[in-house]
Structure 1
Amino acid sequence: MIKYFSAKPLWPQTGLAIVRIITGLFLIYHGLELFSAAKMNAYLQWDQFKSDFGKAITYAGKTAELIAGILLVLGLFTRIACILTAGVMLFISFKLGNGIVWYNDQHPFLFVLIALVFFCAGPGNWSLDAKLFDKK
């Protein structure tokens, strides 16, 4: 019972892997909207995307979400996936949203914070990064 009140981590590799994989699955889910013409056309109706580059920005964002999600699930090039995730979600929070990350735009900003955790902590042992790049 004492270990639950300790400052020492409990199952850090397992916990990191589970959160990384679930986060990646969420990003894949949102990124798959790339293949829904109806959903993409709905985004293009937003005022923020009615510029000359609106369609390119919309498709680039969804592509980045999909790629970052796949990379996070696999634990491959995790820090690059974190940069993609943070970039897209910061754009959503501050450009598309109002930057009110403590309330209105909280969900995309939480992805930024999760990306920061994995950028700093790495993907953990349950990852292709660990298999490919960690030489023991």
Structure 2
Amino acid sequence: MLKRFLSPSYTPWQGGLALMRIITGLLMVYHGWEVFDKAKMDEYAKWLTDLHFPAPAFMAYLGKSTEWVSGILLTLGLLTRLAVIPLAIAMTVVCFGMGNGRILTQDQHPFLFVLLAGVFFFTGPGKWSLDQVFFKRGP
């Protein structure tokens, strides 16, 4: 049993990746939901102004919209590999452009989303995805 468990090809539960994708997507939807809160978006625009970002209000809405839309697509497992590209870019900007790039201390949260985006880019959505329904290749 231990030998099987330690085997690199052993997958104890095929739904694990899908569950991670769904939870990650829901977390992104939650964070992106702020796009509908004008007061919060004004705070982000001010912060981006202080950081000397170009078009700070537009960038704030672009970032939060990216989180929201990518989160929905990731939750559904629809166009997964395409959805995580803008998500990874947005989280990289949050981590290194808005944050201090201290991925071992303060900026772990957005950096973990970058890493999760990489996981889903390289592995795909897993089970329970609309990608599997629409793009499944079979005999």
Indicate if the aligned counterparts of 2:46 and 2:56 stay in contact, CA closer than 8 A: no
Counterparts of 1:97 and 1:17 in 2: how far apart (Å)?
Answer: 30
- Cα 1:98–1:130 shift into 2, 3 Å: same
Q: In the alignment, residue 29 of structure 1 is paired with which amino acid?
A: Y
Give yes or no for the alignment of 1:37 onto 2:38. yes
1:56 corresponds in structure 2 to: 58
Counterparts of 1:51 and 1:110 in 2: how far apart (Å)?
Answer: 23
Alignment of 1:39-118 (within 5 A): 39-46=40-47, 47-48=50-51, 51-118=53-120
Structure 2 unaligned blocks of 5 or more = none
Indicate if the aligned counterparts of 2:42 and 2:57 stay in contact, CA closer than 8 A: no
Counterparts of 2:137 and 2:34 in 1: how far apart (Å)?
Answer: 38
2:26 corresponds in structure 1 to: 25
1:129 corresponds in structure 2 to: 131
Counterparts of 1:82 and 1:132 in 2: how far apart (Å)?
Answer: 18
2:15 corresponds in structure 1 to: 14
Counterparts of 2:96 and 2:68 in 1: how far apart (Å)?
Answer: 21
Counterparts of 2:54 and 2:20 in 1: how far apart (Å)?
Answer: 37
Q: In the alignment, residue 72 of structure 1 is paired with which amino acid?
A: L
Q: In the alignment, residue 87 of structure 2 is paired with which amino acid?
A: T
- Supply the RMSD in Å over aligned alpha carbons: 1.5
Using structure 2 for the length normalisation, give the TM-score.
Answer: 0.90
Deviation at 1:52, TM superposition (A): 4.8
CA offsets 1:30-49 (integer angstroms, 9 cap, x no match): 1110000111111122112x
Percent of residue pairs identical: 49
Deviation at 1:127, TM superposition (A): 0.5
CA offsets 1:55-100 (integer angstroms, 9 cap, x no match): 0100000000000000001000001111011010000011001111
Deviation at 1:103, TM superposition (A): 1.3
Aligned residues: 134
